[in-house]
Amino acid sequence: MNLTVEKEILDTTVILKLKGILDISTTNNIDPYLEDIEFFKLLIFDFSELEFIDSTGIGSIMNAIHLSQEKGFKLKLQGINELTHQVFEMIGIYQILEVVQGEVV
């Protein structure tokens, strides 16, 4: 199982494009990218080439959401396929993201 991460920086935005599988064996691949996020205002996870995500991968996304609250940057999720969207919706990722970023009263 493999996951590659491509990092793109546009001004104060970091885009992490995930390719492959985000599961228990690959979640540590995104950790180094989150460590140097402190000076940016927006982190975008691009899932357009993500083939699969398991509960451990979802946990990594949750950690990134909480890190965004600690470090003061916004987090966006884009390129989500229908299956991943349904899972994120079912477990409440979108609601958590909105609450943490202060977009819901």
Which amino acid type is present at position 27?
T
| pLDDT of residue 36 exceeding 80 | no
Residues 6+ apart with CB under 8 A from 26: 1, 2, 3, 20, 57
Q: Which residue segments constitute the domains of the chain, with CATH numbers given?
A: 3-100 (3.30.750.24)
pTM of the model: 0.89
66-85 pLDDT per residue, tens: 999 888 899 999 999 998 99
